[in-house]
Amino acid sequence: MAKIVYILNGPNLNLLGKRQPEIYGYQTLDDVRQLCEAQAVEAGLQIVFRQSNAEHDLIDWVQEAREHGAGVIINPAAYSHTSVAILDALNMCTFPVIEVHISNIHKRESFRHHSYVTARADGLIVGCGTEGYLLALRHMATLLSDD
C-alpha cells in the first residue's frame, strides 16, 4: 500500500494564478494538485491535497495526517509568520515535514523572513515557484524510502 503524504495549503492559495501572478505565477492550485498527483504516482506515494483559509482546518488536517499519513508537505502561507498553533500541531508528528513557499520569503518584506513552521521542518523549499511542491514530493519520497 502506498504511503500517504498530506499536502496542505494555507490562506489565499485558492487564488493562485490570479493573485499577484508576478510573484506567484499563473498556475492555479488545481494545476499544482494535478502535477503533485502525477509526481506522487511516479514516487509510489498517495497524496491528500487540501487548502483552507482557516488556521483551525490546517491544524485539524495535521492532526489527521498524524494518524493516517506518512508525511506532510505544508505551504502555510501567511500563517508561517504567525501561527504557533500550526507549529505545535506539527511538533506532535513523528514523520517528515517539508515546508514550501512559492516565493522567496527572504527577499520580501521583513515580517515574512521568519517562519514558525521552519522550526519543525525537515526541509524548506523557497523561491522555486510551484515547482517547489514537486521538489518537496521528490525529497519526501527519499525520506520515506529510508524507513
DSSP 70-88: SEEEEE-GGGGGT-HHHHH
Q: Which of 49-53, 77-81, 125-129 has the highest mean pLDDT?
A: 49-53
Q: Do 104 and 128 contact (CB within 8 A), yes or no?
A: no
Whole-number pLDDT of residue 115 = 86
Cβ-based neighbours of 84, under 8 Å, separated by 6 or more = 116
Kindly give the pairing relationship between strand 97-101 and strand 45-51: unpaired
- Run of H or E residues at 36: helix 29-43
What positions carry a catalytic annotation?
24, 101
Would the pLDDT of 89 be above 60? yes
Closest CA to 24 of 37, 38, 42, 12: 12
Would the pLDDT of 112 be above 70? no
Q: Is the dihedral of CA 124, 67, 45, 31 positive or negative?
A: negative
Q: How many CB atoms lie within 10 A of CB 111?
A: 10
pTM of the predicted structure, to 2 decimals: 0.93
Would the pLDDT of 111 be above 60? no
**132 dihedral zone (left: phi>0; alpha: psi -120 to 50; beta):** alpha
Would the pLDDT of 81 be above 90? no
Domain 3-145 in CATH: superfamily?
Dehydroquinase, class II (3.40.50.9100)
CA angle, 112 then 28 then 139, to 5°: 65
Percent of the chain at pLDDT > 90 equals 77
What pLDDT, in 10s, does the model give residues 38-54?
A: 999 999 999 999 999 99
